Amino acid sequence: MTAAGIDRTPFGKMPDGTMVERVMLRGAGGFEAAILPFGATLQALLTPDRDGHCDDIVLGHDDFAGYLAQRKFFGATIGRYANRIAGARFVLDGAEVALDANNGPNALHGGVQGFDRKLWQIAELTDSPGPTLVLERESPHGEEGYPGNLSTRVTYRVRSASELSVTYEATTDRPTFLNLTNHSFFNLDGARAGTQILDHRLTIAADHFLAVDATAIPLPEPPRAVDGTPFDFRKPVAVGARIRMNDEQLRLGRGYDHNYCLASGTGLRFAARLESPRSGRVLELFTDQPGLQFYSGNFLDGSTAGKGDRLYRQSDALCLEPHAWPDTPNRPDFPPARLNPGQIYRRTIVYRFSTV
């Protein structure tokens, strides 16, 4: 069996000829995470099923050309602001800040060229306290309209034979808003399995969610209770059990594409659990973020070929994205996402795997 460790291999070249590596963090028992400095992207995640067979469970591409050709966010680090900001604008300390609109009237996932389209630098590789990769990037003041020179670090670490952590850290030289996350698309049967995630059983530790308008911006109302709605995942429910119910919010999102309001508190907290009845794989997600965006892969439309040359279609995978609530810069009633000089932004996601 392959021992824990780190492998580095060439994966492709940027348009200017700069080499892009693929860094493999290997745990015990076949657990492996492959990361690309381009977009600080989780390119592959291999975990064993109930029979001990390891397979890659995240969507993406087998070669670098696929990542360059289309912006689909597969496994990428999203910034400066994950999710949407209404009208591509906000007011900060009395001054209006105009962003680059790239999702109708709104700014989505950092704008036209977000962190997912940038080449990060490998700052550190170490085997202790587990196979670890640290990536860094300097985002200049005014990039995509956001204020502040931002110094950012992303740390990927294989913490055990069944656990991957992702930690985001950042500092700024002037007040700004910041919201970072990972945008992996999961199918616990395997990225090449050809099965949908509608039978995956999902639990989300949230009593409320944010209802949205036709452009996926939260409505000007308090969070809605999940009780008695198709959005209630407080107990395990198949993703597809209620996805076609005649519900206005499901119609607007073509399925689930909503922020769940996690319980307030400090430190890592349980946020979600996903289980595949076919493979027996179980994913438990822990985070210190206030929200979790559940996206059921509604806009995968067959226009993109991914791993194994498969066309990705609706419900081929789902996303569980821990981050600040959408449009927080325009919503003083939401948990804050402001970062000031002298503060350190630090947020963590832990993906823990097991089988049943």
Enumerate the active-site residues: 183, 321
DSSP E strand boundaries for 49-149: 54-56, 77-78, 84-85, 89-92, 95-98, 107-108, 121-126, 132-139
CB 249 within 8 A of CB 257: no
**Rounded distance between C-alpha atoms, residue 227 and residue 353, angstroms:** 28
Is residue 306 within 8 Å of residue 191, measured between CB atoms?
yes
What secondary structure, in 3-state letters, does 165-188 show? EEEEEEEECCCEECECEECCCECC
What is the Cα gyration radius of the chain? 19
Which residue in 49, 53, 44 sits closest to 26, CA to CA?
44
Distance CA 281, CA 279 (A): 5
Burial readout 55-81 (b: 16 or more C-beta within 10 A, e: otherwise): bbbbbbbbebebbbeebbbbbbbbbbb
What is the residue whose two structure tokens read 């794989």? 281
Q: What is the dihedral of CA 297, 179, 93, 211, to 10 degrees?
A: 30
Dihedral of the CA atoms 143, 44, 85, 80 (nearest 10)?
-30
Which residues contact residue 95 at a Cβ distance below 8 angstroms, ignoring those fewer than 6 apart? none
